[in-house]
Structure 1
Amino acid sequence: MPSPTDRFSDRVENYVRYRPSYPAAVLDVLREEIGLTPDWSIADVGSGTGISAALLLDNGNEVFAVEPNGPMRAAAEKLLAPYPKFHAVDGTAEATTLDARSVDAVVAAQAFHWFDPAAFGGECRRILKPNGWAVLLWNARRLDATPFLRGYEELLQKYGTDYARVRHENVDESRLDCFFGTSARRRSVENFQPLTLDGLRGRLLSSSYVPADGDPSQAAMLSELDDLFAREQTNGQVVIEYDTEIYFGQIA
């Protein structure tokens, strides 16, 4: 299997077009819980194609988007070029290259499960200003809320190459405690992603754990996806429902 750094390199186009964004309610939670203001500087670690960075930039924040994967970082640079407060950084969670005590918060969106939690925690302590905050975000797909979502999960279980091993739900309290050094607080908000058939196909193919182009099982997987869509669509769309999970705390 490809390394965490490389495994999305052949999925970038679909990732940009079909991955869900984060709802604006995330910002409301962060304002309420940690005092987020537009003048904070933020390290967005494992920033990928810039989905979470865009949310923070729209809030007025200066964002240092740390991403080791070249194609994903290039996509973010293209997407976010209009933002003068956006800075792309070639670095990793464990070695961001950012200056010591340089940011007010560290955010990792849909990425923490790829990191070494202890090493990432140490790097956060280095780059955070005194009393700075760490925030972990995930769009957690609801697995059993509708017949469509049950069918989609069954499809992933059937065709996913290493789905059970790499899914972010494997992050447990021990990994969170190892990172934060204490118990983190948690909030969640709803998020919904309506998709046409083309969008659903792209969303599936953006996942690193499904068969890639050239894999003989990809065609069978997409055929079953098309059948699922035909059964469950309403007015030419299905909806992937998420709970956007927000963990936050100050690194002990």
Structure 2
Amino acid sequence: MQNSTLRFSNRVEDYVKYRPHYPAAIIPLLEQQHLLKPGLPVADIGSGTGISAELFLQKGYTVWGIEPNVEMRQKSEALLQSYPDFKAIDGTAEATTLPDHSVALVAAGQAFHWFNREQCRREFKRILKPGGGVALIWNERLTATAFEKDYEELIVRHGNQYQKVDHRNIDDAAIEAFFAPGTVTLSVFNNQQVFTYEGLEGRLLSSSYMPVKDGPGYTEMVADLKALFNQYQTGNQVIIHYATKVYWGRLS
């Protein structure tokens, strides 16, 4: 299987344009639970192009973005250059390079399923201040509509390693074990994206398990995607719904 730190190197532009962002309501949730503290940095692990980092930056928090993929990291620096409190760092979940007890919160947006859980747990405990928290965030694509069900089937049909790397392979029991003996709470927010065909194709291509543009399997995949879009579009648009899941708690 391809090295997880390299999987998105050739998908950066589609990732920036077409990946879903996260609901702003996540920040008040974490503040109410005292997992965010003004003046203390947030470590965004697997920060990618900065989608999750920007969520915290917009609310005035300092963010250290830990990202091993050079193309993704450089894109985050370019996109977030207007935020002086953002610093991108070449590191991994298992070896962040951050000082001991330096952050109030460790966050991971759409990334935790790539980590070595045993190793990153030790690293998170090392860099967290006493009482510091962890927030694991995913936009989980739903299959509630006929379009969404057929879109999922298309991904299964054309995706390379999709069923092996899908973040849903990590279930609630695995996440509870990660936080144990501490407890973890799940909060869920509604989220969605509205796409024209161009956007839908870009969203599909942003996933590391799909054929790359003009690569093997691309032509067949696009033919199926166009037929799917034409079948379900209304006003030249389709909607993908998400449940944004936030698992939050403290590591004992």
- The alpha-carbon distance between structure 1 residues 197 and 214, as it changes in their structure 2 partners (threshold 3 A), is closer
Question: Paired residue for 1:7?
Answer: 7
Q: How does 1:1-252 map to 2 (within 5 A)?
A: 1-143=1-143, 145-182=144-181, 183-252=183-252
Matched-pair contact (CA < 8 Å) for 2:44–2:64: yes
SS at match of 2:13: helix
Deviation at 1:66, TM superposition (A): 0.2
Matched-pair contact (CA < 8 Å) for 1:117–1:176: no
Deviation at 1:101, TM superposition (A): 0.6
Q: Which runs of 5+ in 1 are unaligned?
A: none
* Deviates most, 110-119 or 206-215: 206-215
The residue identity in structure 2 corresponding to 1:128 is L
CA-to-aligned-CA distance 1:145-170 (integer Å, 9 cap, x gap): 11110111010110011011100001
Deviation at 1:179, TM superposition (A): 2.4
Output the CA distance in 2 between the equivalents of 1:160 and 1:96: 31
Matched-pair contact (CA < 8 Å) for 1:118–1:178: no
SS at match of 1:64: strand
SS at match of 1:4: coil
CA-to-aligned-CA distance 1:40-74 (integer Å, 9 cap, x gap): 31000000000000111001000000000000001
Deviation at 1:233, TM superposition (A): 1.1
Matched-pair contact (CA < 8 Å) for 2:37–2:104: no
* Deviates most, 84-93 or 30-39: 30-39
Q: How many pairs are equivalent?
A: 251
Q: Which runs of 5+ in 2 are unaligned?
A: none
Output the CA distance in 1 between the equivalents of 2:135 and 2:63: 14
Matched-pair contact (CA < 8 Å) for 2:35–2:105: no
**TM-score computed with the length of structure 1 as normaliser:** 0.96
Output the CA distance in 2 between the equivalents of 1:233 and 1:138: 26
The residue identity in structure 1 corresponding to 2:52 is S
Output the CA distance in 1 between the equivalents of 2:186 and 2:40: 21
Identity %: 47
**RMSD between aligned alpha carbons?**
1.2
CA-to-aligned-CA distance 1:62-102 (integer Å, 9 cap, x gap): 00000000000011000000100000000000000000011
The residue identity in structure 2 corresponding to 1:57 is L
- The alpha-carbon distance between structure 1 residues 196 and 38, as it changes in their structure 2 partners (threshold 3 A), is farther
